[in-house]
Structure formats: structure tokens, C-alpha cells
Amino acid sequence: MADVHEELILWEAEFDPRVRTYWLLSGAGFLTISIVGIVLLPLWFAIGSWATGHYLRRMRCTLREKTLQVSKGVLQRVEKTVPLDKITDVGIVQGPIMRYLGLEALSVETAGQSSQGALVKLIGVVETRDFRAAILRQRDVVAAGIAEGPRPSDASPVLSAPPSEDLLVDIRDTLRRIEQHLGGNNDG
């Protein structure tokens, strides 16, 4: 398999600086709802302003030929490489605060995902809808096998026509021999 870094970069996402305001307001809302946190609001705005700026500078999302690479985080760095052919949906989410600030969030869902919700959620991508369309378009290209043909080492025989009855009989007989060799005797 080719190294991910050898893949051509199709789009390097940029993030809207207004996402910092969104994070600050969201944190302030949470502290206000908790009532006890109201006392911490001045501290939140002082520390939160620095933390959100640092977090924003660390966010990266790169669309490559076959993958979507995401890295983010300050204290806990998260780096994910999502194969495009595993992406089942790229949704757009916009809550009331995001709508007020003119922001949207991308949520990336994949096949075989073990957790509920999005595998990757990115808030504040500039040109969110165009970036989403580019991801889905490239996913379809990869799924169709247009992006790059198989390498000789990856090549496997492909049947251009349905298997013949003789081939199916040979496969059945081989499976029976394997079962007998393993100790199972399955007549059928």
C-alpha cells in the first residue's frame, strides 16, 4: 500500500476564526446552566480565549486521493486517517449558535464504525458545503476504482463472466476435501 503522504493533496481545509467565539459561548452556556459555574465565567473567558486559539491553530483536515486526514487537540492530540471508501456519509450540522455565527459542522460517518455518532466532527470549516461535496465526489471516484488501477502486487484475478458450472463443482470438491482433512465429514 502506498504511503498516505505520497498521495496527492486535493484540499487542505481552512477553519473560520469565528469558531473560537462558538466554543467560548458554548462553554459559557454550559457553565451558566450548571449555576455553580457562573462563578467561573470570568476565568473561562480568560483561559478559554487562549485555549480556543491554540486548539484552532492545531486543527488540520486534509482531503487526499484516497483518505481524509484529521488532526486536532491540545492536551490530547487526535490524529485520524479515514479511508474514503469507508465513508458512508458526510453530514452538515448547524445549531442555533452556529447559525447565528454563520458556522457549520461536518460530521463524517464510516462503515464499521464502533461508536454512536460521527467518527469525525469538524466545526467551522470554510466553504463547508464545497468541502463536503469534494469529499463525497472523491469517495465516489475511489469506490469506482477510477483514481488508480491496481498495482501488480495488489492484482487479483477478476472474473469477467459468471463462473462456469465446472468451476463451481471444482470449488465444492476442494471444500469437501478440506473438510475431510480437518476431520469434518459433511455430505451434502
Cell triple for 26? 458554548
Residue located via cell numbers 478559554:
48
Cβ neighbours of residue 132 closer than 8 Å, sequence gap 6 or more: 90, 92, 106
Q: Residue 30 and residue 103: Cα distance in Å, rounded?
A: 19
Burial of 154 (0-12, 13-18, 19+ CB in 10 A): exposed
Domain 4-144 has CATH 3.40.30.10: no
Domain boundaries, the chain: 4-144
Cell triple for 177? 476435501
Q: What is the pLDDT of residues 11-56, one digit of tens each?
A: 999 999 999 999 999 999 999 998 888 899 999 999 999 999 999 9
pTM over 0.85: no
